[in-house]
Structure 1
Amino acid sequence: MVESHAPNGAAVDARGEGGRARRVAAASLAVTGVLLVAKLAVWATTGSLAVLSQALDSGVDIVALGLMYVGVRIAHKPADASHHYGHAKAENLVAFTQTLILVAVAVVVASNAAWELTGAPVEVRTPWYALALLAGSVIVDAARAWYLTAAARAERSEALAAGALNILTDVSTAVVALASLAFVRSGLKQADPLGAIFVSLAVVAAAARLGKRSIDVLMDRVPRVTVEAIAAAAAGAQGVAEARRVRVRGTSEHLFTDVTVAAGRMASLERTHDIAERVEQAIEEVSPGSDVVVHVEPTSASGDLIERVLAAASRSDDVYEVHNVLVHEIDGGGKGVKRVALHAKVNPRLSLDEAHELSEHIEASVLAELERAGIGAEEVRIDTHMEPLETATPGRDVTEDRDDIVAAVRDLTVEEPDVIDCHEVVVTEVDGRLSLVVHVSGRPELPLGEIHEATERIEDRIHALLPEVGPVLIHFEPT
């Protein structure tokens, strides 16, 4: 299991971009206070219920914007020991509170309007300056809504977006209130309560939209299309066999994503980490700014017996490396029997008794793995060769002193049909024993199987010609 974490690049320091959000909220709060005083003055002059609903709405805005200001301050605090995912949901909590306040105000205004429609008519005065004041508030609110919307997009702020939606509702309701007064002025007395009811319905509709969005975030609901896009990106990353689980939470701008993927069982720790980073990059492309945690697990099954044997034999903590795995099909009295031979490098300090116990543990692990592949224990024989793990030993380069070996190896290798040239021979002496590293060139299209056969032929000829040479490494390169 390997986990990789990509931090969220969208986290905002409270003193940076979050400062702008606070300034916008504070400015909007001040403007709302001025508008509240103006609307109360108009209501006192006219007695209009529609204007009163506007004034009450602005009063509610004072509370809502105050909450928004506090929410923005909290939301831009960095993650801490008690809030591992940050404080961004504070904005959604504030936005949800705003919806409750808006609905409460709408119910009160609608109730009063209904009472006025069914009861005795209320005298409404419509002086020209009242109409002018309402028209001015419409212009101010429209400009304020535009500014808040732009700031919400730039800051990725749910609270600012909620405030902008609230003010846009104010614009529409102010227009209705203005129209109601105009109709009353022309003689239609019931226009005022009807306008108030229309305003209330508009407020409830806006609150419902805002409330749904806030609840979705607070309940960690993420659109299915977003999750499917992230899952597809993770599954398509190079080295991933499958995407097993994807969990996503947060807002559309700040997503926290936990992904579990499966990779090849024999992948090294370093390669597994590379796979996790590729998954992070793939998710970043479809969901910029996401905070991603990738958990990599081995594939649960493999059709290749040698890979199964390698994986099972490598599970023990005392086994450092497994190599030279051979699986042979032997005809045993009409029944196929598999013989498995493998080499395991272990701690050189193990005693014979300890090495034998480890060998039995390895063989039991391999048997269990093969049984999961449908191969019974009676059909398998396993032989394990234990080797000590070799450590780095001091040696010296004697290439310049052994020109004879270099020349002989060069002449010998170029006689091999698959070798075009031999461009480097390195001779090393370790504990009085010589080893060779030979670099040769071959055709770029040469199959790996033929390269391996050519390598074995060269090694055999070197050992036959130069008995003093021990280990030989042949390195093929394309021309």
Structure 2
Amino acid sequence: VFAAPAVPLFAIRYADRPADDNHHFGHAKMESVAALIETGMLFAVTGWIVYEAALRLLFGGHAVEISWWIFAVVLASIAIDWNRSRALQRAADNTQSEALAADALHFRADMWSSCAVLVGLGLVAAGFAWADSVAALVVAVFVAKAAFGLGQRTLATLLDAAPAGLSSSLTELANGVDGVLSVSQVRARPAGPTLFVEMAIDVPRTLHISRIVEIKDRLIREVKALHPSADVSIVAHPVQLDDETAHDKIMHIASEHDAAIHHVTVQDNAGRLAVSFDYEVEGQTPLEEAHAQATVLETAIREGLGTDVEVESHIEPRPPALLHGQEPAAKVTKLVTTSLQRLAAREKLLSDLHNIRIRTTEEGLFVHYHCRFAPDTPVQTVHDVVDRIEVNLVEAVKGVARVVAHAEPVGHGRHPL
């Protein structure tokens, strides 16, 4: 019993060690082991008190000699144990240390024992010789009850029991985060001051990976706001939604096959879907290889949308990752600029042609310009106008490979370059 205070000292120093290759969750459970040891000591002390008290009650014992200094010593012991118990319990509450909580209980047991001694001595002095033993039995009951509660909590930690109501509160918290469809699993277990939380959530599979990471980060912040010491691990499972469009499914299937596609078109032909898209491959890829890759993707899309679906792809070279541009000859710049201004003047909806730039690259001339449209002009109309200018400019000026038009609403400031 006298060695009991040394148990939490060793346990806390050991539990404070960081996680390593052999202990991935750290060493904090050593505090629970220490608390269990101290619980056993308290039960042993309780049993000894009951045994001695019973012997005194049944067979009598040595007469208790009463003097003033005995009361002084007992009162001093109560004061010391009360102060140490409070300090240890405060530290245990602040650090969630089970070892310190067990040590605090140990000193409270000492304090209660001293109180029993004090009451017993007072009653003995009043002529009740049996009072000392009865008081000891009362204290033994209180100590045993407290030790039993501590033992329950300690075993719960060692057996990875989740705190009551925690799973439901974490599930409710996760369901309130935008983007989380449902929570498929919640696991939590305390280890010393740390609460380890593992969650599995379902998210729409159409979300970009960065958006999924954002959802997980927000959920981690929400959990830590409620449990600052939590160590949170979240797994997100992408799931298919009932309201996914055919376009959504096609883009997801392409992403699963690491395929770059664009210009996806879905048609409903008398109840039968027809899907077409542009499939990008490296320009030097042999046609047979590119066609085999496209066929694999077409098959996957057909399986994803239903067997009675028409699927076809247009194979085209993937744009280079980097083109090297430079200013063309002055006469080329003048020819392209004049032609562009002439074509733009034909379009009544377009105004304020500006920021014209021409660059020559390995693939030909790239023409960039900015223009304005009325703010309420439909995007489709704007696209038709600039697309028409591009087609006509490519026909009018030899070597133009691409025309990039940036449309701005009238009344807005010019786009910075």
TM-score of the aligned structures, taking structure 1 as reference length? 0.75
Percentage of matched positions with identical amino acids:
26
Contact 1:314 1:322 in 2 (8 A): no
Query: For residue 454 of structure 1, what is the aligned residue in structure 2?
Result: 382
**SS state at 1:223 partner:** coil
Which one of 370, 386, 396 corresponds to residue 315 of structure 2? Answer: 386
SS of alignment partner, residue 217 of structure 1: helix
Within-5 A mapping of 1:220-299: 220-251=160-191, 253-299=193-239
Alignment partner of 1:472 out of 390, 394, 403 = 403
Which of 312, 322, 332 is residue 253 of structure 2 equivalent to? 312
Give the C-alpha shift of residue 326 in structure 1: 1.6
Q: Does 1:354 align with 2:289?
A: yes
Match of 1:103 among 29, 38, 43: 43
CA contact (8 A) 1:146 1:164 kept: yes
Shift of residue 201, structure 1, vs aligned partner: 0.6
Post-superposition Cα deviations, 1:332-383, rounded to whole Å, max 9, x if no partner, equal xxxx21111122223444322222222221122112222xxxx4x1x21111
Aligned counterpart for 1:185 among listed residues 102, 120, 125: 125
Residues 349, 297 of structure 1: alpha-carbon distance in 2 compared, 3 angstrom cutoff: farther
Give SS of 1:309's match: helix
For this pair of structures, how many residues does the alignment match? 403
Give the superposition deviation at 1:174: 1.7
* Amino acid of the structure 2 residue aligned with 1:281: R
Q: Determine the C-alpha separation between the residues in 1 that align with 2:373 and 2:47.
A: 85
Contact persistence 1:439–1:474 (CA under 8 A): yes
Distance 1:80 1:284 in 2: 23
Pair 1:322-2:250 in alignment:
no
Distance 2:275 2:131 in 1: 93
| Map of 1:36 onto structure 2 | none
Secondary structure of the corresponding residue to residue 77 of structure 1: coil
Instruction: Return the match for 1:200 from 140, 160, 171.
Output: 140
For 2:249, give the aligned amino acid. R
> What SS does the aligned partner of 2:165 have?
helix
Give me the whole-angstrom Cα distance separating, in 2, the residues matched to 1:424 and 1:274.
37
Determine the structure 2 residue equivalent to 1:38. Answer: none
Distance 1:400 1:149 in 2: 84
**Equivalents in 1 of 2:319, 2:97: separation in Å?**
59
SS across alignment from 2:4: helix
> Shift of residue 466 of structure 1?
5.6
Matched residue SS, 1:64: coil
Separation in structure 1 between the aligned mates of residue 56 and residue 345 of structure 2, nearest angstrom: 107
Say whether the 8 Å CA contact 1:263–1:297 is kept in structure 2.
yes
Larger RCO, structures 1/2 (Cα 8 Å, 6+ apart): 1
User: What residue number does 1:436 align with?
Assistant: 367
Q: Name the CA shift for 1:152/1:398 in 2 (closer, same or farther; >3 Å).
A: same
Is the contact made by 1:414 and 1:422 (CA closer than 8 Å) also made in structure 2? no
TM value normalised by structure 2? 0.85
Q: What is the DSSP-based 3-state SS (H/G/I as helix, E as strand, rest coil) of the residue aligned with 1:345? A: strand
Deviation of 1:131 after TM superposition, in Å, equals: 1.2
Give the distance between the partners of 2:346 and 2:74, measured in 1 at CA. Answer: 97
CA distance in 2, matches of 1:290, 1:400: 65
Select the residue among 114, 122, 125 that pairs with 2:54. Answer: 114
Contact 2:179 2:203 in 1 (8 A): yes
**Secondary structure of the structure 2 residue equivalent to 1:396:** coil
Alignment-mate amino acid for residue 203 of structure 2: A
RMSD between superposed Cα atoms in Å = 3.0
Distance in 2, Cα, partners of 1:438 & 1:236: 46
Matched, 1:68 2:8: yes
Deviation at 1:471, TM superposition (A): 2.7
2:334 and 2:203 map into 1 onto residues whose CA distance is 48
1:300 and 2:236 correspond = no
Deviates more, 1:339-348 or 1:199-208: 339-348
CA contact (8 A) 1:173 1:202 kept: no
Provide the rounded CA distance (Å) in 2 between the counterparts of 1:299 and 1:181.
Answer: 73
Q: Distance in 2 between matches of 1:338 and 1:249?
A: 51
Secondary structure in 2 aligned to 1:314? helix
Instruction: Measure, in 1, the Cα distance between the counterparts of 2:345 and 2:176.
Output: 43
Contact 2:365 2:402 in 1 (8 A): yes
Q: Is the 8 A contact 2:274 2:310 kept in 1?
A: yes
| Cα deviation, residue 78, structure 1 | 0.6
Q: 1:349 to 1:462 in 2, by over 3 A?
A: closer
Name the amino acid aligned to 2:264: V
Cα distance in structure 2, aligned partners of 1:237 and 1:438: 43
2:181 match: secondary structure: strand
Structure 1: tracts of 5 or more residues without a match: 1-59
CA distance in 1, matches of 2:241, 2:155: 41
Q: 1:394 to 1:113 in 2, by over 3 A?
A: same
How far apart are residue 250 of structure 1 and its match? 2.1
1:477 Cα deviation after fit:
5.7
Q: 1:466 to 1:328 in 2, by over 3 A?
A: closer
**Structure 2 counterpart of 1:369, from 299, 304, 320:** 304
User: Gapped runs of 5+ residues in structure 2?
Assistant: 413-417
Match of 1:84 in 2: 24
Return the alpha-carbon distance in structure 2 between the equivalents of residues 359 and 82 of structure 1: 48
Equivalent positions of 1:389-408 (< 5 A) are 389-398=318-327, 402=333, 405=336
